[in-house]
Amino acid sequence: MSAAVEKDPDAGSSGGLKDCAVVTIGTELLLGQIVDTNACYLAEALSEAGLRIRLRIAVGDEIGDIVDALRVALDRCALVITTGGLGPTLDDLTREAVAAVAGVALEFREPLMADIEAIFKRYGYHMAENNRRQAFVPQGAEAVRNPVGTAPGFICRIGEKAIACLPGVPRELKVLFPRTVLPWIRRFFRLPEQVLCYRTLKTVGIGESQVDQSIGDLIKPGGDPEIGLLASEGEIKIRIAVRAGDREGALQRIAPVEEEIRARLGRRIFGSDEETLESVIAALLASRGLSLSILESFTSGTAACLVSRVDDFPLGEAQVIRSKTSLMAWDQCHEQNPGDDRTSRSRPWEEADLRRFAAAFLSRSNADIALLILGYPEEDADGWQVDAHAVVADRTDLLKAFSWHMGGTSATLRSRGAVTGLNTLRLALLERTDPAAR
């Protein structure tokens, strides 16, 4: 049994960028019981094929709601892809809904029934009578046979438009879509062979609104290249997307836009694509032949955990000291500073404190560079507050110190504190090589 459309489609609409919709079907989606990974997978795959995703709709297992969703999608888009609702039970109603929208009846397909029976026989399961429902498709639809499951799909043409229905099981969807449905779509809409290339620039230490102020004039809906912003914990991503006939041509069109964005944002951009803040720091340390020690207080080892994910990160021997408060961390090094009288939180951190603390920590370390992330978190009615300090030092001097205040949950403080500390380290390493970058 092969995964194939039963017959080739005739040529459909003329070429060019087409609008499409993704409709995912299942009450479990509306209840939040599962994450809709199918919609994300299809949106990315369709975009890469040169289609524009105009709508994404999630709908429950009610025939009227499914029909309404399909009609809305068809009214706005040339192509609708659905997932789910192709099972054998009475609440699997995608077949009936599409037939109603197309104005046709359902018809039984013997080849599909044979495929379903073969699947049950292969796995040694008894086939229930209701599995026969899965061999029905809207009259005139083109069946998409399923070699890995019991739910065949189908493609129903309605004038110059089409609805392609696929099973909701992600494993089956990811077999049927690229093997059969995507080639059908390319032929039907006469889509040219093309690639969609992305370059993602990653920033840290700057908010989304500030990024928008810096490059907002470059961000135009439907632009080519198309630029978008994505905010996540601790960083803002700038995505540059280009469609072209080949990868080389796409990269050539991305290059001048990337250069302009880098010129405007400078060292706030720490990396691109698959690079992470910690992998960039690892590369900086390795290129300079330096090892790192980390001392953390309120971040509870979060920065150390991040860098430990990078293969061959140049950490010194047992250089990660974790403690709950900076007073505890201070006590660990207090024996190296017998003249210091700090015994409470009453006195603010001063540069002299940070310098002595860094020197004391490095004296207990075999590393070349130390990163210290310090602060006393205090709880109030709104959550936690901390006056935080990120300190970077080598064996000769304090290289960089950055102090800031932040509030939020304890998890937020740990995450943001670790990212800010690591970014302070990144900047210190860059400035250590190029003092003009200060």
Residues 241 and 353 in one domain: no
- Dump the DSSP string for 284-334: HHHHHT--EEEEESTTTTHHHHHHHTSTT--EEEEEEEE-SSHHHHHHHHH
Q: Per-residue pLDDT for the chain (438 aa), expressed as one digit of tens each?
A: 333 333 334 434 433 457 999 999 999 999 999 999 999 999 989 988 878 899 999 999 999 999 999 999 999 999 999 999 999 999 999 999 999 999 999 999 999 999 999 999 988 889 999 999 999 999 999 999 999 999 999 999 999 899 999 999 999 999 999 999 999 998 888 877 777 788 999 999 998 999 999 999 998 877 788 899 998 878 999 999 888 878 888 889 999 999 999 999 999 999 999 899 999 999 999 888 888 889 988 998 899 888 888 876 665 543 333 333 333 344 454 444 444 444 445 456 778 888 888 888 888 878 889 999 998 888 888 889 999 999 999 988 888 999 999 999 999 999 999 999 999 999 999 998 765 555
E strand map for 84-177: 106-108, 136-138, 142-144, 153-158, 161-166
Residues 247 and 308 in one domain: no
| pLDDT score for 434 | 65
Does residue 13 lie in a domain region?
A: no
Does residue 80 lie in a domain region?
A: yes
- Dump the DSSP string for 222-249: T-SSEEEEEEETTEEEEEEEEEESSHHH
Residues 255 and 216 in one domain: yes
| pLDDT score for 222 | 72
pTM of the model: 0.68
Residues 200 and 183 in one domain: no
Residue listed under structure tokens 């901390």: 386
Name the nearest CA neighbour of 360 among 318, 387, 331, 388.
331
User: What's the number of domains the chain is made of?
Assistant: 3
- Of 171, 188, 205, the domain-final residue: 188
| pLDDT score for 320 | 39
Contacts of residue 349, defined as CB under 8 A and 6 or more positions apart, other chains included, come to 374, 387, 389, 403
| pLDDT score for 341 | 47
Residues 163 and 68 in one domain: yes
Residues 215 and 310 in one domain: no
Q: Angle 208-215/247-265 helices, nearest 10 degrees? A: 110
Residues 158 and 218 in one domain: no
Name the nearest CA neighbour of 93 among 118, 74, 70.
70
Domain carrying residue 85 = 18-188
Does residue 2 lie in a domain region?
A: no
Does residue 11 lie in a domain region?
A: no
CATH of the domain at 289: 3.90.950.20
